[in-house]
Amino acid sequence: MTQGNIKRQAIQCAIALAAFLCFALQAHASMTIIRGGAVELAPGAKSGATAVVLVDGKIAYVGNDKGAMAFQKPDARLIDAGGHTIMPTMTEAHIHIHTALKALYEVSLDVANDIADLQKAIKRFADEHPNLKAINGGGWAVSAFDQNGPTKEMIDAVVSDRPVALQSADGHSAWVNAKALAMLGIDKAFARSFNADRAAKGGSIVVDANGNPTGYLKESAAQMIGRLRPTYSLEQCKEALRKQQRWLAGLGFTSAFDAGVLNANEETSDNMYRALSEMARDGELKMKIRGSFWVLPYQFKNWDECQAYLDRWMKKIEFLGANDYYTVTTVKIMSDQVLEEGTAYLSEGMYAKGVLANNDIESNNIWAGKEEILEKVFEYAATHGLNLHIHQIGDAAATLVLDALEKAVRVYPDLKNQRVSLAHCQFINERDKTRMARLGVSAIVAPYWAVMDDYYWDVYLPLMSSQAKLDKQYPMRSLINHGINVAFHSDYFVTTPDMGYLFYSAMTRVLPQKIYNEWYGDSDEYFRTTDMKVSQKPKDNKTRKVIGPLKPRNETMTLDQTLEAATINGAKTINLDDRIGTIEVGKAADVMILNMNLRKARLKNIENVSPVVTFFE
């Protein structure tokens, strides 16, 4: 997972109602006629269509109102779209479905903006759940703390009688109290031993000046909190998934790539995979989800160990079974880690001096010495019909991956057939953009993060050698111009999906006013503007920091590009573009009506777009 600004807005009642309506309509009508709208067709197609007819989960007609009414039967559901946009539902091209468990059963810290708010939320949850043996949850933002990060004392001040383990919203670190450290056996000696081999272990335990663990665990060290997490039953997993499905449908998402399970014990992880498989088999899962499993370099000493792991997963996939609605199709690979922890694999000269130990950028190459294993994983995927979905933040990480992929494609050219995706794509150089296009690699980007925010000023900028280096982050339009298939994701739990936030940020690279109001409305540290002439130089932003258009400003996307990335392009990344992603006769009835006409809306109002009703097959 990666990080943009990870604070998230609350879900509005109207959205939740739309999620309910989509189920109610499907349950009561085998035919639905939607007329009086503005239909968005396939990319490049001239529409003019005003109506869509849905019959038994399929699109039966696209055209004018008169033609649609010819289908009418006594039991047909008739809906007037009121001139609003009728469009395909969206694909979440990288989301963590298992976070449904966190949302339902654990403490959520996503709306807490500072340490005091975090402490209140932790204490309130602990007081409300006195029988829990451990407090688990997450959603906290790195930007809530100073450069030293969170400490155990901050939690101990409100909960000290039970272990508390809290995952960051980006999933790359954990915050624990003293009780948790003790139960995990993390003391001064353990931390010293762990950190002595941090490159091979793929993480670190933050310590104070005396070498004592502070309660801040990074990357692989954070995975140790899985031992404190409860085991969720198969039925608990299903209940969480039912609620997650309704919620996502209400937001306009009816298909997704599940980027895997993080920081759960083995039994919970198995139950989540089983729940998805059984719900698909039993007709409860209406979303179309394609699953994955992880490959991490520090899991294996050699290729034999890695191959044995992959073979076990192939047997597990066979056991889970394939279904139109859910199947595991993909190997999820980390090519590096994250910028905010200083663990992204960037090219020489990108980081500021002192960020890395001995300024050694190769210390962030998590595949160093194991390049052959990475290449063999690609070959294994090619020979076993698996897709590759690769977490990529730094430009050097992109180069590493594409070098390995070029070797694999020479022998297995079918990998070029929309089977490889880079997710997050924070930094990519021009040469590698060209290679991505040539190799058929999709780019899965998050416009939510392609904005100026407190992360830009307080977290990212201090890590970079210059502002100019940072201002190359999150390319979007240039990827499209190179001929790359670009799709969208939120990386939820990192960011809560929101169509208005997504579309507005893609088209402007500016934080929407509604999000600014929620995060910074009462703050005197920041001010928002869409004016590109307002200085973004650090010397001019010492008193108050601008939240303005993120450079490069020519990376904004057009409305057409935004629509494609949210729909058909996302469907391509999960190999479902023959079934969903466009409104065409014969395709699945994954369709939604919006609360406005996108083609007629003023740009500043795009941030408020959302589905009114969602339908799906």
Taking Cα atoms as reference points, which of 142, 163, 313, 140 lies closest to residue 226?
A: 163
Does one domain contain both 146 and 64?
no
Backbone angles phi, psi at 217, to 5 degrees: -115, 130
> For a pLDDT cut of 90, what percent of the chain falls above it?
81
Does one domain contain both 62 and 142?
no
Confidence of residue 464 (pLDDT cuts 50, 70, 90): very high
CATH code of the domain in which 610 resides: 2.30.40.10
Residue 283 in domain: no
What confidence score (pLDDT) does residue 486 get?
Answer: 98
Residue 588 in domain: yes
Confidence of residue 1 (pLDDT cuts 50, 70, 90): very low
- Report how far residue 48's alpha carbon sits from residue 453's, in angstroms, rounded to the nearest whole number: 39
- Residue of higher predicted confidence among 47 and 488: 488
Does this model's pTM top 0.85? My answer is yes
What confidence score (pLDDT) does residue 212 get?
Answer: 96
Does one domain contain both 60 and 143?
no
What confidence score (pLDDT) does residue 493 get?
Answer: 84
Domain that holds residue 21: 13-89+579-615
What confidence score (pLDDT) does residue 422 get?
Answer: 98
Q: Where is the domain boundary, 164, 199, 228?
A: 228
Amino acid occupying residue 608? N
What confidence score (pLDDT) does residue 23 get?
Answer: 42
305-363 tens-digit pLDDT: 999 999 999 999 999 999 999 999 999 999 999 999 899 999 999 999 988 877 778 88
CATH code of the domain in which 154 resides: 3.10.310.70
Residue 221 in domain: yes
Q: Where is the domain boundary, 188, 203, 228?
A: 228
218-254 tens-digit pLDDT: 988 988 998 898 999 999 999 999 999 999 999 999 9
Residue 140 in domain: yes
- Residue of higher predicted confidence among 325 and 417: 325
Residue 211 in domain: yes
Does one domain contain both 84 and 138?
no
Q: Is 581 left (phi over 0), alpha (psi -120 to 50) or beta?
A: left
CA dist list (Å): 2 to 41, 176, 338: 32, 20, 6
Residue in the block written with tokens 């996939």: 317
Q: What angle do CA 604, 605, 609 make, to 5 degrees?
A: 135
Does one domain contain both 141 and 74?
no
Does one domain contain both 146 and 211?
yes
Residue 168 in domain: yes
Instruction: Give the residues across from 169 on adjacent strands.
Output: none
What confidence score (pLDDT) does residue 139 get?
Answer: 87
DSSP string, 1-66: ---S----PPPPHHHHHHHHHHHHHHHH-SEEEEESSEE--STT------EEEEETTEEEEEE-HH
- Of the listed ranges 21-35, 67-81, 496-510, the one predicted with least confidence: 21-35
What is the three-class DSSP state of 218?
A: strand
What confidence score (pLDDT) does residue 29 get?
Answer: 61
Confidence of residue 27 (pLDDT cuts 50, 70, 90): very low
- Report how far residue 391's alpha carbon sits from residue 219's, in angstroms, rounded to the nearest whole number: 14
Does one domain contain both 154 and 213?
yes
Residue 191 in domain: yes
Residue 192 in domain: yes
- Structural domains of the chain, count: 2
Peptide bond into 549 cis (omega under 30): no
- Report how far residue 613's alpha carbon sits from residue 249's, in angstroms, rounded to the nearest whole number: 9
* H or E element, residue 213: strand 213-219
Q: Where is the domain boundary, 197, 213, 228?
A: 228
What confidence score (pLDDT) does residue 142 get?
Answer: 86
Confidence of residue 5 (pLDDT cuts 50, 70, 90): very low
Mean pLDDT, residues 380-388: 97
Long-range CB contacts for residues 112-121, cutoff 8 Å, separation at least 24: 112/139, 112/140, 112/144, 113/7, 113/144, 113/519, 114/144, 115/144, 115/145, 115/154, 118/144, 118/154, 119/154, 119/155, 119/157, 119/158, 120/158
What mean pLDDT value characterizes the chain?
Answer: 92
